[in-house]
Amino acid sequence: MQLKEKFIKRKAKLGVIGLGYVGLPLCIEMAKAGFEVTGIDVDREKVEQVNSGVSYILDVKNKELSGLVKRKKLVATTQFETLKKLDAVNICVPTPLRKTKDPDISFILSAVDEIKKYLHKSQLIVLESTTYPGTTNEIILPELEKSGLNVGRDFYLAFSPERVDPGNKHYTTKNTPKIVGGITKECTKIAKLLYEQFIDNVIPVSSTQSAEMVKLLENTFRSVNIGMVNEMVLMCNKLNLNVWEVIDAAATKPFGYMPFYPGPGLGGHCIPIDPHYLSWKLKTLNYNARFIELAGEVNSYMPQYVVDKVIEGLNGVKKSVNGSKILILGVAYKKDISDVRESPSLDVINLLRLKGADICYNDPYVPELKLDNLVLKSTRLSANSLKDFDCVVIITNHSAYNYKWVARNSRLILDTRNALKSIKCQEKIITF
């Protein structure tokens, strides 16, 4: 049976390397469409949880996962030998930054090293991990061609950027439009055909480089605009203006304006990291991506700005940050999720601890927080415990919080998310 026919008849055996926020939801959609799916991950604990039908990702429900596992539509393993049995393999591994802000594609390279051992004819390989333009064509293709197989004829290679938004109740893996670009036209056709079996709308582009650039444009757009509105916070603070009032008023314009909102810094895997992949690539071509660099500077400064506002607020009630008991409300990087990757809360906590503050946190989605040399557990909120804190800092605007109740029982609040608006607390609310 030809590969195209296998896809259409859902007879192909599919594999996903990396069972994180991107890979596991992708496995679910493939399996729900009727494919037999193998998830591969080096983390034995994740593999055991998947095979037990227990989800560690908020967007994947236990009932849905366990049902697919029981029907033998989804299985997880740490063994890469299973690649030789698969008709298509999606790479969904992390792509972090090094401390020097250079791309770290070591996880991609490790996955490709395993794939090339078992690469066979009529096999499709798709990279979904975010990376710089040229990675698929310049790095992955030469490695796979060492097998002696020819791309576009013997095997197929494409890039399709992940567009996962953790906690989004409306847009999921299935109904978020999927971009795909192949090394050759046939590669694009084959990859598009696969995704069409379980994604509502698949959009082809001319090359893997274009597909890689699409993802970076999307996240650079957000990074730059968030950087701009975060700088607006700093300017409004100096001008003694309410930035939230300014933004809300500007948002009434029905054309030529899109509201972005300030915060204590950028969080999540994509927006704080992905633009630096593009900036790094352009530096190799002797070009300085100035907007990206400037937005990065502003956004990286915001946790320090939060700390400065805490110090200012404590000074206003004649307290020193050194020795003050401070509660961080929310450590996930955005509301109603458990994801703490790149969360600005972590920076705020570390900066305040360096200044001698006694730090606690509460987050209904994150019961335990592991820092470099410290493990914190979410503090139970009560009227008495809130009164013990010298300052409460709202970082994540979780819908699980009763902010009116928090305000009534707190002495001093720094509201970085405009969660309280006109609510008054016992002594003082400091807003951005």
Contacts of 314 (CB under 8 A, 6+ apart): 320, 321, 324, 390, 391, 412
Long-range Cβ contacts of 44-49 (<8 Å, 24+ apart): 44/78, 46/19, 46/76, 47/19, 47/76, 47/77, 47/78, 48/76
Residue 96 is encoded by which pair of tokens? 């972090």
Q: Determine contact, residues 23/40, Cβ cutoff 8 Å.
A: no
Strand partners, 233: none
Query: Structure tokens of 23?
Result: 């890979």
The Cα–Cα gap between 320 and 159 comes to: 53
CB 162 within 8 A of CB 22: yes
User: Which residues are CB-neighbours of 72 under 8 A, at least 6 positions away?
Assistant: 36
Query: Cα–Cα distance between 249 and 102 in angstroms, integer?
Result: 39
| Greatest C-alpha distance within the chain | 77
Query: What is the spatial distance between Cα 341 and Cα 333, in angstroms, rounded to a whole number?
Result: 7
> Counting beta carbons within 10 angstroms of the beta carbon of residue 265, is it exposed (0 to 12), middle (13 to 18) or buried (19 or more)?
buried
> What is the three-class DSSP state of 178?
strand
Residues 346, 332: Cα–Cα separation, whole Å = 9
Q: Are 89 and 127 in contact (CB under 8 A)?
A: no
How far lies 111's CA from each of 106, 179, 250, in Å? 9, 22, 47
Closest CA to 332 of 357, 365, 308: 365
92 is catalytic: no
- The residue annotated as part of the active site, out of 270, 360, 391, 425, is 270
Integer angstrom CA distances of residue 143 from 16, 106, 112: 19, 14, 7
CA distance 400 to 363: 9
Backbone dihedral region for residue 372 (phi beyond 0: left; psi -120 to 50: alpha; all else: beta): alpha
Q: Which residues are catalytic?
A: 270
